[in-house]
Structure 1
């Protein structure tokens, strides 16, 4: 667990931020930032929104921006670090677990719904990138979540099992599983799990020219001053992929209905097919909202593009 309180954005004078923590049902301590409107009257009850991070991100980046913006608009909000990552506990570090990451959302509902100034029947969630899939999966079984918004959603179980744009063949999948099986023996013998490639440990000035367009987009956020944070290295244990290949996130998305889902995606996002397909799979009420002239990562931190007023109206009308 790493301590680093620096954020990638400026704290608004319209909110106050409190560091909080709570345990999930696995006994892992989840670290979070609680954002409150500056003029909050704690004798009243307010609607609440829980915000999950982009996959590999931390609460001091995009999730914190969303939490702050929605707190400015009158909500009690919570941005949290997923288990095994950021300031949350869990060993070994940098594990990625679909089951536990989904559980973290429900644990956040446990916490925020027991604050005396929160209306527990008005709790919504926002999932950005990979946490969009986790937020939807949490809502499939946790009916305390009254509305879900996803932003630049990724279905990580689909990526791991089928490859980018479902391009992985059965032969390639079997080869990957064989490699992961061998990796388990390596990790066991070394007593330390091996990680996927990481971003630089210090921010850089430019994106390497040899990267493909998608990698360049992520590198340009996480590895430069724009979004760099020491707790966000962009890597997970290699064997984490096994869980995702065995854990389809969207199997019961229809069961969220009649609670509403808002899918937000960039017009030019490389990831838009995840939101489009999930929208088709979901039952009513649902909405697909396209942000003009924006890509995937733009919706992490481009406050001039992110439709916060749309998000406000969605939760105000549906909780």
Structure 2
């Protein structure tokens, strides 16, 4: 599997695993766990808590619904390209399986001028925070283009 694969199910499973881990500590009531999700983690926290009934209180800060935005675009700006982007993701996966080059989406290597021209304030602020002021040296905005097959199919508010 290539690096930077982004599967919502893996992120949700990480949250379940966190509950498993902290439940091992003395004094932790594993039937009343609180959960805080920030940005994309807010959406994944809601998805985890929908099925894992150990979570009794959930809070989000600046929640980002990754599935909705990857599918429809920010504020439904990409509704007319859903099928085209799914085809690109399907083609990218087929290319990976055939041993070809792994294609990536979500480039974060933008100049200040390019960031200033992004159409949504949330994206501009996200680049400022996650790419410039609080970037982790091993983190990127990129993910395999084939990841869009899972990202665009992700529903975090189904129950």
2:144 maps to 237
2:135 maps to 228
Pick one of 176, 183, 186 that aligns with 2:95.
186
Pick one of 78, 98, 111 that aligns with 1:168.
78
For residues 175-233 of structure 1, the C-alpha deviation after alignment (integer angstroms, 9 at most, x for no partner) is: 11121122122222345532224435xxx9xx611321444322222232x20211211
Going by fraction, where is helix more abundant, 1 or 2? 2
1:141 maps to 51
Contact 2:7–2:147 (CA<8 Å) still a contact in 1? yes
Cα distance in 2 for residues equivalent to 1:132 and 1:147: 13
For residues 6-39 of structure 1, the C-alpha deviation after alignment (integer angstroms, 9 at most, x for no partner) is: xxxxxxxxxxxxxxxxxxxxxxxxxxxxxxxxxx
Cα distance in 1 for residues equivalent to 2:22 and 2:103: 35
Pick one of 110, 114, 127 that aligns with 2:20.
110
| Alpha-carbon spacing, 1:243–1:117, altered in 2? closer, same or farther (3 Å) | same
Pick one of 118, 126, 139 that aligns with 1:218.
126
- TM-score (norm: length of structure 1): 0.45
Pick one of 188, 191, 195 that aligns with 2:104.
195
Structure 1 portions without partners, runs of 5+ = 1-90, 253-319
- TM-score (norm: length of structure 2): 0.85
Q: Residue 128 of structure 2: SS of its match in structure 1?
A: helix
Cα distance in 1 for residues equivalent to 2:124 and 2:74: 16
Superposed CA RMSD in Å reads 2.1
Cα distance in 1 for residues equivalent to 2:21 and 2:28: 10
Map 1:36-51; keep pairs closer than 5 Å: none
Q: Residue 119 of structure 1: SS of its match in structure 2?
A: coil
Contact 2:89–2:147 (CA<8 Å) still a contact in 1? no
1:177 maps to 86
Structure showing greater radius of gyration is 1
Cα distance in 2 for residues equivalent to 1:229 and 1:152: 19
Cα distance in 1 for residues equivalent to 2:2 and 2:114: 32
Contact 2:89–2:145 (CA<8 Å) still a contact in 1? yes
